[in-house]
Amino acid sequence: MKHVRETLAGRIGILELYSLSQREKSGVLFDEPLDFSFDNLLFRQNKLPQSDVTQIFEHIRRGGMPQVLNANEEMRQEYFNSYVDTYLMRDVAEVGGVTDFSKFIKLLKACAALTAEQVNYKTLADAADISEPTAKDWVRLLEGLGIVYLLQPYSNNELKRLVKTPKLYFCDTGLCSFLSMWLTCDTLMNGAASGHYFENYVVIELLKNYAYAKSKANLYYYRDFNAKEIDVFIELNGFIHPLEIKKSASPNRKKVNKYSPLDKASIPRSYSGIVCMCEKSLPIDGKIRLFQAD
């Protein structure tokens, strides 16, 4: 099953679909909404097959496009080459009026190199040898086509001096790893960008979860001008759930102290925690958890 979401592409007549989530690849769907309570986490944990860090990064490298799930490496490369050169370039020409495909692909690869980072249009423009306004237009086009997702920063009257720049993620991590030439699970898992890819994976899995859930949610990240950052938090049913995302199996639990600035927001804080590679979800203190990344 794929997810349909309203995007710029949808508003102009293109039906955009998400690739498969990890839950769908595992053949496990939940009727109960994800509310981050400990009982809810344990219920989901017992239904899903447990994965170690190597399996998670193989999921990340392969992505969720049905055509590559069972493909060998040669077929995977051929599919993504065809996808970018044929289908994606056709769409950017028809929808966005793009004619310089070589520069557009340079921008696309630059986006992949900067996944899970704040969007820097000057860096993208320099990489593709285009103007900053054009880089911004092309990123919006990629967002509208469902290739990238821009996670917006949180804005609240009670919280001052917050950044306004979104963070960029790829809706399919397999496409992102292909564009950055991470050709094996080991090189991706042990490479310098592994933490960014893990963050991309978690954010997009959350996005897909709520895109199809009965309970709709808003996703944000938090960062102030002092560089204090919370990776992602979910606004759901009148509460906010802040989450840190760490590839480690035993992250520093003091990271949850970063959530205190959100207590000044007008929306109350509820269950929160750290999404990591721990073997099972564990309580830390009160409403704070270690979340298993599966």
Q: pLDDT tens digit string along 250-259? A: 776 666 677 7
- What is the structure's pLDDT at 11? 33
Task: Kindly tell me if the per-residue pLDDT of 100 is higher than 90.
Answer: yes
Of 177, 163, 168, 165, nearest to 149 by C-alpha is: 168
In a domain, 2, yes or no: no
Q: How many domains would you assign to the chain?
A: 1
**3-state class (DSSP) for residue 199:** helix
Q: What are phi and psi of 286, to 5 degrees?
A: 60, -110
**Cβ 59 vs Cβ 15: under 8 Å:** no
Element (H, E) at 288: strand 288-292
The radius of gyration of the chain from alpha carbons, rounded to an integer in Å, stands at: 19
In a domain, 245, yes or no: yes
Q: Report the C-alpha gap between 184 and 94 in whole angstroms.
A: 34
In a domain, 3, yes or no: no
List Cα–Cα distances, 110 to 65, 82, 103, in angstroms. Answer: 21, 19, 11
- What is the structure's pLDDT at 200? 97
89-96 vs 132-144: helix axis angle to the nearest 10? 110
Q: Which residue has the higher pLDDT, 128 or 292?
A: 128
Q: pLDDT tens digit string along 166-218? A: 999 999 999 999 999 998 999 999 999 999 999 999 999 999 988 877 778 99
pTM: 0.88
- What is the structure's pLDDT at 13? 34
- What is the structure's pLDDT at 277? 82
Task: Give the pLDDT band of residue 21 (cuts 50, 70, 90).
Answer: confident
- What is the structure's pLDDT at 7? 38
For residue 79, the enclosing domain spans 8-292
Read off the pLDDT of each residue in 133-138 and give the average, rounded to a whole number. 97
Which residue type is seen at 132?
A: E
Of 48, 116, 32, 62, nearest to 294 by C-alpha is: 48
Q: What are phi and psi of 165, to 5 degrees?
A: -90, 130
In a domain, 203, yes or no: yes
In a domain, 229, yes or no: yes
How many CA atoms are closer than 13 Å to the CA of 116, on its beta-carbon side?
A: 23
Element (H, E) at 54: helix 53-62
Which single residue is written with the structure tokens 């003091």? 254
**Cβ 144 vs Cβ 7: under 8 Å:** yes
In a domain, 152, yes or no: yes
User: DSSP string covering 105-130, please?
Assistant: HHHHHHHHHTTTEE--HHHHHHHHT-
Give percent of the chain above pLDDT 90: 50
In a domain, 1, yes or no: no
User: Residue 193 corresponds to which tokens in the numbers above?
Assistant: 């960008």
Q: Report the C-alpha gap between 61 and 256 in whole angstroms.
A: 29
Task: Give the pLDDT band of residue 39 (cuts 50, 70, 90).
Answer: confident
Residue 286 gets the label, from left (phi > 0), alpha (psi -120 to 50) or beta, of left
Task: Kindly tell me if the per-residue pLDDT of 264 is higher than 50.
Answer: yes
